[in-house]
Amino acid sequence: MLQTATASSSIVPPVMTGARPMLAISDLHAAYGQSEVLHGIDINVAPGEIVAVMGRNGMGKSTLMKTLMGIVPTKSGTITVDGTDVTTLKSHARVAKGLAYVPQGRMIFSTMTVQENIETGLTVTGSRKVPQDLYTMFPVLLEMKGRRGGNLSGGQQQQLAIARALASNPKVLLLDEPTEGIQPSIIREMGRTLKKIRDERGLSIVVSEQVLSFAMDVADRVLVIENGSIVHESLRADIDEAQVARFLSV
Amino acid sequence: MFGDYSLADLSSIFVMQGFAGLILFSVYVLMALGLAIIFGQMGVINMAHGEFMILGAYVTYLCSTFFQTYLPSLFGGYFFVAMALAFLASGAMGMLVEWALIRHLYKRPLDTLLATWGLSLILQQAYRTIFGPREVGVELPSWMMGSIPVTDSIEVQINGLFVIAVTTVITLGVAVLIYRSRFGAQIRAVMSNRSMAGAVGIDTEKVDRTTFGLGCGIAGIAGSAFTMIGSTGPTSGQLYIVDTFLIVVFGGAASLLGTIASAFSISQTQSTLEFFLSGSMAKVLTLLAVVAILMLRPQGLFTLKVRR
Interface of A with B (CB under 8 A): 69-71, 90-92, 95-96, 100-101, 103, 107, 109-112, 116, 119-121, 123-124, 128, 148-151, 164-165, 168
User: What is the percent of chain A where pLDDT is above 90?
Assistant: 59
Judged by a CB distance cut-off of 8 A, whether residue B185 touches chain A is yes
pLDDT classification of A3: cutoffs 50, 70, 90: very low
- Which residues 6+ apart lie within 8 Å of A118 measured at CB? A130, A134, A141, A160, A163, A164, A167
Please give the Cα distance from B157 to B144 (Å, whole number): 8
B177 to chain A, closest Cα gap in Å = 14
3-state secondary structure of B192: helix
First and final CA of chain B: distance in angstroms? Answer: 49
Instruction: Nearest by CB to A120, from B186, B205, B306: name it.
Output: B186
Please give the Cα distance from A80 to A143 (Å, whole number): 38
Please give the Cα distance from B52 to B94 (Å, whole number): 8
Check: CB of residue A208 under 8 Å from CB of residue A64.
yes
CB contact under 8 A, A109 and B304: no
CB atoms within 10 A of CB A30: 22
Interface test with B, best of A89, A99, A111, A172 (most B CBs within 10 A): A111
**Phi/psi at B306 (nearest 5 deg)?**
-145, 160
Could you report the per-residue pLDDT of A158-194, keeping only the tens digit for each? 999 999 999 999 999 999 999 888 888 888 888 999 9
Interface test with A, best of B106, B200, B304 (most A CBs within 10 A): B200
pLDDT at residue A10 tops 60: no
Q: How confident is the model at residue A18, as a pLDDT?
A: 56
pLDDT at residue A4 tops 80: no
Interface test with B, best of A120, A122, A176 (most B CBs within 10 A): A120
Q: How many residues does chain A have?
A: 250
Q: What is the ipTM of this complex?
A: 0.84
- Comparing B20 with A197, which gets the higher pLDDT? A197
Q: Give this prediction's pTM.
A: 0.83
B170 to chain A, closest Cα gap in Å = 23
CB atoms within 10 A of CB A19: 9
Check: CB of residue B221 under 8 Å from CB of residue B269.
no
3-state secondary structure of B200: coil
CB atoms within 10 A of CB A143: 12
Q: How confident is the model at residue B189, as a pLDDT?
A: 92
Mean pLDDT of chain A: 87
Inter-helix orientation angle B109-131/B49-70, to 10°:
30
Domain layout of chain B by residue ranges: 13-296
Nearest CA to B245 out of B52, B6, B35, B88 is that of B35
Domains and CATH numbers, chain A: 48-73+87-248 (3.40.50.300)
Q: How confident is the model at residue A5, as a pLDDT?
A: 40
Please give the Cα distance from A198 to A204 (Å, whole number): 7
Average pLDDT over residues A11-19: 48
- Comparing B17 with A230, which gets the higher pLDDT? A230
Please give the Cα distance from B4 to B157 (Å, whole number): 26
B182 to chain A, closest Cα gap in Å = 8
Nearest CA to A180 out of A190, A170, A195, A194 is that of A190
Hey, what CATH topology would domain B13-296 get? ABC transporter involved in vitamin B12 uptake, BtuC (1.10.3470)
**What single DSSP character describes residue B287?**
H
Contacts of B205 in chain A (CB under 8 A): 90
Q: How confident is the model at residue A86, as a pLDDT?
A: 94
Check: CB of residue A71 under 8 Å from CB of residue A103.
no
Helix (H) or strand (E) holding A38: strand A35-45
CB contact under 8 A, B192 and A111: yes
Q: Which long-range contacts (CB under 8 A, 24 or more apart) does A6-12 make?
A: A7/A243, A8/A231, A8/A232, A8/A243, A9/A231, A11/A230, A11/A231, A11/A232, A11/A233, A12/A233, A12/A234, A12/A235
Q: Where in A87-228 does DSSP place strands (E)?
A: 99-102, 172-176, 204-209, 221-226
Please give the Cα distance from A191 to A183 (Å, whole number): 13
pLDDT classification of A19: cutoffs 50, 70, 90: low
Low-confidence ranges of chain B (pLDDT < 70): 1-3, 253-254, 304-308
Nearest CA in chain A to B204: A92
Could you report the per-residue pLDDT of A35-90, keeping only the tens digit for each? 999 999 999 999 999 999 999 888 899 999 999 999 999 999 999 999 999 999 99
